[in-house]
Structure 1
Amino acid sequence: MKNKLRIIGGDWRSRQLSFVDAPGLRPTPARVRETLFNWLQYEIFGKQCLDLYAGSGALGFEAASRGAKSVVQVESNALACRSLKDNAIALSADDRIKVVQSDVLRYLEGEATAFDVAFLDPPFGLNLVIQTCRLLEDNGWLAKHAKIYVETERHFDFSGMPENWRQLKSKSAGEVGYHLFERIE
Structure 2
Amino acid sequence: MTPSPKARPRNTRNAHRPSARFKPGNIRIISGQHRGRKLPVLLAEGLRPTTDRVKETLFNWLMQDIAGAKVLDMFAGAGSLGFEAISRQAAFVTMIENNIKSAAQLKQNIEVLKAKHQSEVICEDAFEALKNKDESYDIVFIDPPFHKGFVMRAVDALLINNSLKPGALVYIESEASFNENLHPSLIKIKENSTQQVNYRLYRVAEN
1: CA distance, partners of 2:123 / 2:133: 15
SS of 2:166's equivalent? strand
SS of 2:140's equivalent? strand
Could you say which structure has the larger radius of gyration? Answer: 2
2:138 equivalent to 1:116: yes
Kindly report which structure 2 residues correspond to 1:91-170, keeping only aligned pairs within 5 A, or say none. 91-159=113-181, 161-170=182-191
Q: After superposition, what is the alpha-carbon deviation per residue over 1:109-156, rounded to whole angstroms, capped at 9, x for unaligned?
A: 223211000001000011110011011112100111000000000121
1: CA distance, partners of 2:203 / 2:115: 28
* Count of residues in correspondence between the two structures: 183
Q: Determine the structure 1 residue equivalent to 2:201.
A: 180
Of structures 1 and 2, the one with the larger relative CO (CA 8 A, separation 6+) is 1
Give the structure-2-normalised TM-score.
Answer: 0.86
Conserved? CA contact 2:26–2:40, under 8 Å:
yes
Which letter does structure 2 place at the counterpart of 1:179? R
Q: Determine the structure 2 residue equivalent to 1:78.
A: 100
SS of 1:21's equivalent? strand
Q: Determine the structure 1 residue equivalent to 2:89.
A: 67
Q: After superposition, what is the alpha-carbon deviation per residue over 1:4-57, rounded to whole angstroms, capped at 9, x for unaligned?
A: 111001000000011112122110000000000000001110110000110000
Give the structure-1-normalised TM-score.
Answer: 0.96
Structure 1: state its 5+ residue gaps.
none
Q: After superposition, what is the alpha-carbon deviation per residue over 1:76-106, rounded to whole angstroms, capped at 9, x for unaligned?
A: 0000001100000000001111000000111
Aligned CA-pair RMSD = 1.0
Which letter does structure 2 place at the counterpart of 1:107? A
Q: After superposition, what is the alpha-carbon deviation per residue over 1:54-75, rounded to whole angstroms, capped at 9, x for unaligned?
A: 0000100001100100000000
2: CA distance, partners of 1:73 / 1:22: 17
Kindly report which structure 2 residues correspond to 1:28-39, keeping only aligned pairs within 5 A, or say none. 28-39=50-61
Conserved? CA contact 2:43–2:78, under 8 Å:
no
Give the Å deviation of 1:183: 0.2
1: CA distance, partners of 2:46 / 2:155: 19
2: CA distance, partners of 1:50 / 1:76: 14
Which letter does structure 2 place at the counterpart of 1:13? R
Conserved? CA contact 2:74–2:95, under 8 Å:
yes
Which letter does structure 1 place at the counterpart of 2:194? A
